[in-house]
Amino acid sequence: MAKQINYQKKPKEISEETKKEIKQARADIKVGKFYTHSQVKRKLDL
């Protein structure tokens, strides 16, 4: 009988600061504060 090996890594806990940044980013997106890919390219002259 073959032995099963679990290669999955345990998810790492994210910091409170990162959680706050994610929450803020989601709120910004909800109110329309974001740039499209096209806008970023134009702004960076790409």
The tens digit of pLDDT for each residue in 8-22 reads 777 789 999 999 999
Banded pLDDT at 7 (limits 50, 70, 90)? confident
How many other CB atoms are there within 10 angstroms of residue 46's CB atom? 7
pLDDT in tens, 20-38: 999 999 999 999 999 999 9
Banded pLDDT at 39 (limits 50, 70, 90)? very high
- Strands (E) in the chain, as ranges, are none
Whether the model pTM is above 0.85 = no
**List of long-range contacts for 14-17, beta carbons under 8 Å, 24+ apart:** none
